[in-house]
Structure 1
């Protein structure tokens, strides 16, 4: 018998097997994301700081100049945050409100809310320095929110919402800036050791979320901290004659290398957490790559200024220093940063698109 006679049959069999492996009939599609809950710092704070006694506020112009009705909501940007764009793309709601906003009703909690606090971090010392909400306090507000949801829709529906919700943890930048780069503590602790300390806090928080029923968790990595306008300014102050700071602006490669090291450690931690917390997805939401791409290839995104903020001189102003009377740039959509620390709405939309393409499919 001709041995080649079996080849087409074998080929057809393997093709069928391959298709079955790629499309297993019994694999049910993941249920849609029910809500988005955010914890951390100003990158995901929709205005909780408006309701606590702190100087770290942005509920005044020029913040919000690109927001609907030019509303200064307490978001540290000219408009929406990445979490707002994600929520609207997922069909949850147009923006994620701040938990402490008195207009937020218990029923609103079922589709998502932010517990984050600008100026906060993974390290409790960071929140103490800025009189903002530490992660423990944010957690206690989440527990309170769960009780409110249960009072509205009952235990099983609340548990279903939590199980299928997306939880975003975005913190770490303030910790590095306050406690390592611009603080005496930085002389006493190695960057790598401090990373490990922060990541132990991430691990504990993810464990808490898992114990509360969360199964889809995205942990945001560090941005290129050395390219934040304030860090560029401070780095330049120490190394150049003053008049040149307006001309000669370059990122701190050391600080960027630190961010990359942290992000690699975060990926390793997430891998371990996924092994341990069976049934959970713990993913790294990379903001370093999209921000760096915007800095290196601004014209691809219609950007013109990447190392100065739109508010004031763009070198140092943020929060209380970015004031209603501060001059602002003519066209904020051409700016990567709105103030000296925080991305513009345009940059946040790019980050959200990057997350939708690279992280959401894995959830």
Structure 2
């Protein structure tokens, strides 16, 4: 057996069999939108919140934390898979302080996007403001553990970025301004340029392990399928939106390649949920689901945030039977499947 193969096999055995063995990732640091927000929007004056029941009913203690899900979200599962905490806390949550953020912190804000105009739609945290919070976190971390230890933590941390859907569905296709300025292809270039700038700034701040999240098949979200139904288009996935997602993911793939070539010592991967989520939607029974076209929460048509009402008799009793929790967000079970997929197909390089 060749030595490199033997070494990788031994590493795998150690990580799998030895109790307490962990990979070389010091912390999980999260940026993005509602796909990964663990409660930062709770502290904002915005309608886009989920800190009430039935959100969180399958989370630890049945607690609604501000996660847009019935339970855990991808950063939680990823953190646990890397031997860290099973739930990554929100930076703005007053229940936590810097000692809670040493091995994981979440800066994401539901409703945000790469484009600052997207965050303006629902008055949430702009993407670049999340970076300012990270700088603030770095200062607090240095004061807490010392400069050398803080540098070690931030350089060995895994940075997760997940956003972009709102730029298209809540901004480009809903508001007129960006459509008057950009074709959809040029808008994708504009967004990928912002993504590249953000990662380069993270790099300058010491980040070396970065996961850039691709778009899901956004035309298959219950909200879009319902909208198409009322437009007389049958209620199937909006394949035009799906093509936009695929094209944008292709641009992000090119960005990842360029960044890895340009920035010494960095490792950027594209964590792309598109294929696995579309397969789940089209063949839900293969994954133990019964319903993919509508969501668990209320009627499963347009409900999200305050429209997801725990008192509504249409809210399902078992979210594990549903691919989607509300009209925009996957259920905890789906999040687990997608997280396992991206760990196996992208994040494994950091194990």
User: Is structure 2 residue 183 aligned with structure 1 residue 190?
Assistant: yes
2:68 to 66, 76, 89: 76
User: Is structure 2 residue 232 aligned with structure 1 residue 232?
Assistant: no
User: Is structure 2 residue 212 aligned with structure 1 residue 219?
Assistant: yes
Runs of 5+ in structure 1 lacking a partner? 1-15, 241-247
- Say if 1:40 and 1:115, in contact at 8 Å, map to a contact too: yes
- Say if 1:44 and 1:82, in contact at 8 Å, map to a contact too: yes
Please state how far the C-alpha of 1:181 moved relative to its aligned partner: 2.0
User: Is structure 2 residue 317 aligned with structure 1 residue 325?
Assistant: no
TM-score, structure 1 as length reference:
0.89
TM-score, structure 2 as length reference:
0.92
1:346 corresponds in structure 2 to: 333
1:59 corresponds in structure 2 to: 51
CA–CA separation in structure 2 for the residues paired with 1:301 and 1:199: 32
1:301 corresponds in structure 2 to: 287
1:170 corresponds in structure 2 to: 162
Runs of 5+ in structure 2 lacking a partner? 13-21
Deviations 1:53-98 (A, max 9, x none): 1110000111111111110100000000011011111111120010
Secondary structure of residue in 2 paired with 1:293: helix
- Say if 1:58 and 1:74, in contact at 8 Å, map to a contact too: yes
2:29 to 29, 33, 37: 37
CA–CA separation in structure 2 for the residues paired with 1:333 and 1:145: 36
Secondary structure of residue in 2 paired with 1:307: coil
RMSD over aligned Cα, in angstroms? 1.8
- Which contiguous aligned blocks of 4+ residues in structure 1 show a shift greater than 6 angstroms? 28-31
CA–CA separation in structure 2 for the residues paired with 1:178 and 1:223: 15
- Say if 1:173 and 1:225, in contact at 8 Å, map to a contact too: yes
Listed as ranges, the matches of 1:23-172 within 5 Å are 32-172=24-164
1:273 to 214, 238, 259: 259
Q: After alignment, is 38-47 or 136-145 more displaced?
A: 136-145
**Structure whose alpha-carbon radius of gyration is higher:** 1
The alignment covers a number of residue pairs equal to 337
CA–CA separation in structure 1 for the residues paired with 2:63 and 2:317: 18
Secondary structure of residue in 2 paired with 1:269: helix
Please state how far the C-alpha of 1:184 moved relative to its aligned partner: 2.2
Please state how far the C-alpha of 1:180 moved relative to its aligned partner: 2.1
